[in-house]
Amino acid sequence: MEDRKHFVNSLEKLKMMLLNMATMTRRAVENANQAFQDRNEGLAQAVIDGDHAINDLEVQIDNISLKLLALEQPMARDLRFIIGAMRISNDLERIADQAVNVAERTLFLCQHPPLDPIPAMEQLMEVTGDMLDRAIKSFVEEDPKQAISIREMDDTADHWTMVVLQTLIENMVQNTPEGEKRLVNTRRSVQTIIASRCLERVGDLSTNIGEHVAFIVTGMNVKHQKIAF
């Protein structure tokens, strides 16, 4: 029996590409958050400009995966790994799109005077960042327990998204003078609400990644199910 050295190397390469993509995506989210908080246009623009590299990686991962499926006819864990890799890269790409979206809101907001700081927004950035970190870590460590636990943070993310929304609705309704200023204030608030939605999506997609990791490691499809390891 041959030991499939070539194939094993290809899988290793696929894993490295995925880790690379995860690192880039994590950095995009981090930078988008930083740019948002600091009103840093340069950094926001860098996130937008860097997105194509993440898109390219997704395409490459898809191509390699397809090739391995067709030529190597993988079984068992190898098969699950390749399918999982395709799903994870797809979710990473969507996470990076959310980062781009936050960066675009940032560019808009930088054209106007700042809103009062919204502490819930910072909380939201923290929890969704943690969710993404945990997703990546669970993949590296092949740890289904950790992967599944990301779900539990989702309620917190939802909570802070709600608080951001409430805060800004109150802001729009209560302390807005008439005329030009009201329009600007409404726009700033709506853009911030959109940014918070994007972060919430980052959390959701990180939860998905955790489910893919659990699938790769255990073979169980844990989507839409309550399973503990």
Partner 1 sequence: MENAQKFSARNLDFYYGDVKALDDISITIGKNQVTALIGPSGCGKSTFLRCLNRMNDLIPGTRVQGLIHLDGEDIYAPKVDVVNLRRRVGMVFQKPNPFPKTIFENVAYGLRVNGIKDKKSLRQQVEKSLHQAALWEEVKDRLNGSALGLSGGQQQRLCIARALAVEPDVLLMDEPASALDPIATQKIEDLIHELKKNFTIIIVTHSMQQAARVSDITAFFYMGKLIETGDTETVFTRPSLQQTEDYITGRFG
User: Using an 8 Å Cβ cutoff, are 125 and 31 in contact?
Assistant: no
Collapse the DSSP code of 228 into the 3-class scheme (helix H, G, I; strand E, B; otherwise coil) and give the result.
coil
Integer Cα distance of 188 and 182 in angstroms: 10
Check if the beta carbon of residue 48 is closer than 8 Å to that of residue 104: yes
Does 119 bind partner 1 (CB under 8 A)? Our answer is no
Q: Does position 63 bind partner 1 by CB under 8 A?
A: no
Report, in Å, the least distance between residue 217 CB and partner 1: 10
**Among 3-11, 59-67, 119-127, 156-164, the segment contacting partner 1 (CB under 8 A):** 3-11
Residue 197 structure tokens: 């939605």
The span of 1-9, 60-68, 124-132, 154-162 binding partner 1 (CB under 8 A) equals 1-9
Q: In this structure, is the dihedral angle defined by the CA atoms of residues 114, 118, 119 and 125, taken in order, positive or negative?
A: negative
Tell whether residue 182 is a contact of partner 1 (CB under 8 A): no
The verdict on 3 binding partner 1 (CB under 8 A) reads yes
Q: Contact, 34 vs 106, CB < 8 A?
A: no
Residue from 70, 75, 173, 228 that binds partner 1 (CB under 8 A)? 75
Contact flag: residue 8 with partner 1 (CB under 8 A): yes
Q: Residues 194, 121: contact at Cβ < 8 Å?
A: no
User: 41, exposed or middle or buried, with CB in 10 Å at 0-12, 13-18, 19+?
Assistant: middle
Figure out which of the listed residues 42, 70, 76, 113 binds partner 1, where binding follows CB under 8 A: 76
Residue 70 interacting with partner 1 (CB under 8 A): no
Minimum distance between the CB of residue 69 and partner 1, rounded to whole angstroms?
12
Residue 84 interacting with partner 1 (CB under 8 A):
no
Nearest approach, Cβ of 28 to partner 1 (angstroms)? 34
Q: Give whichever of 119 and 219 is closer to partner 1, judged by the CB atom.
A: 219
- Of 81, 67, 111, whose CA–CA distance to 16 is shortest? 81
Q: Which of 37, 73, 111, 166 binds partner 1 (CB under 8 A)?
A: 73
Task: Examine residue 27 and tell whether it contacts partner 1 (CB under 8 A).
Answer: no
b (16+ CB within 10 A) / e for 2-33: eeeeebeebbeebeebbeebbebbbbbbbbbb
Q: Rule CB under 8 A: which residues touch partner 1?
A: 1-4, 7-8, 73-80, 218-220
